[in-house]
Chains A and B, each alone.
Chain A
Amino acid sequence: MDTRRLSVPATDDGVRIVLDAVAALMATHGLSKAVTWPVEVSLDEVLANVVHHGLEGRGAESAVEVELGLDPAAEPPLCEVVVVDDGPEFDPLSALAPDTSLGVEDRPIGGLGIALVRKLMDEVEYERRDGRNRLRLARRLVPMEA
């Protein structure tokens, strides 16, 4: 397992650092976007949630800890991501799934992120531990079609 640990500010810059890091980790092991994009999209959704909602207004003073784990030798390769923040208790998995049957006019903007994460990842687990939110995501890196 190739593991990278990052601690980044809860800002857009922090999100960018993590997305760059996961892209670099995947590229190091020769994994193509065709199999890595679901993890990258999910990580963006989770971090955007933390930065824009959970830690809103606290930005640069608050850190988000991210652990990126990749087992490139597994068949298929396995990726596991843990995101920890010290914002107020919030279980993103408790949010209601959006109604994806509505037309353009009625479709609310937003609310889709976590629903996407649930569909893109094999495993999503939330835990409140030591006063912090801890979200663990895992996916086997195989191509995905809806």
Chain B
Amino acid sequence: MQIDEEQAGAALVIAPAGRLDSVSSSELEKLVVSRIEGGERRLVIDLAGVEYISSAGLRVLLLAAKRLKEPPSALVLCGMGPGVRTVLELAGFLPLFAVEPGREQAIARLGGAALA
């Protein structure tokens, strides 16, 4: 799977493309874990390029949320298409995440406040 990254101020944007399924999600997991362990504390995961997400992909999002739970760490999701949003909703995941429509808003949400 292709995964793009963009550093935007205090935030790192990670943008996977294609299917977030049981085979490909481990690639996203490795990248997210390595970035958090490398010191990134404010992550945007941009799902605009994701065709669909299964529970394996949800697992990676949950893992990231758990690792970035203590402020000033934060995770924002953006770019969800209708199918991706529906899966998060059916799984009861939407209340667990900060969600913005687009990448700009997600970055603004993370970069707006000064680093604690």
Chain B residue with the shortest CB-CB distance to A36: B52
Q: How many residues from B make CB contacts under 8 Å with A? A: 28
Chain A residue with the shortest CB-CB distance to B65: A104
Chain B residue with the shortest CB-CB distance to A100: B92
A41 touches B53 (CB 8 A): yes
A58 smallest CB distance to B (angstroms):
17
List residues 78-133 of chain A with CB under 8 A from any CB of chain B. 100-101, 103-105, 107, 109-110, 112-113, 115-116, 119-120
B90 touches A44 (CB 8 A): no
A116 touches B91 (CB 8 A): yes
Q: How many residues from A make CB contacts under 8 Å with B? A: 34
B22 touches A34 (CB 8 A): no
Cα distance A17–B55 in the bound complex, in angstroms: 19
Residue from the list A16, A34, A52 in contact with B83, Cβ < 8 A: A34
Interface assignment of A57: CB less than 8 Å from any CB of chain B: no
A36-50 CB mask vs B (1 if < 8 Å, else 0) is 011011001101100
Chain B residue with the shortest CB-CB distance to A109: B59
B33 smallest CB distance to A (angstroms):
13
Contacts of A101 in B (CB 8 A): 92
Interface assignment of B100: CB less than 8 Å from any CB of chain A: no
List residues 1-42 of chain A with CB under 8 A from any CB of chain B. 12, 15-16, 19, 33-34, 37-38, 40-41
A116 touches B69 (CB 8 A): no
Contacts of B89 in A (CB 8 A): 146
Q: Give chain A's interface residues, CB within 8 Å of chain B.
A: 12, 15-16, 19, 33-34, 37-38, 40-41, 44-45, 47-48, 51-52, 100-101, 103-105, 107, 109-110, 112-113, 115-116, 119-120, 143-146
Closest CB pairs A-B (n = 5): A100-B92, A48-B22, A146-B89, A37-B52, A112-B55
Q: Give chain B's interface residues, CB within 8 Å of chain A.
A: 19, 21-23, 51-56, 58-59, 62-63, 65-66, 69, 82-83, 85-87, 89-93, 96
Would you give 16 A-B contacts (Cβ < 8 Å), ordered by A?
A15-B22, A16-B23, A19-B21, A19-B23, A34-B83, A37-B51, A37-B52, A47-B22, A48-B54, A52-B22, A104-B96, A109-B62, A109-B63, A113-B54, A146-B86, A146-B90
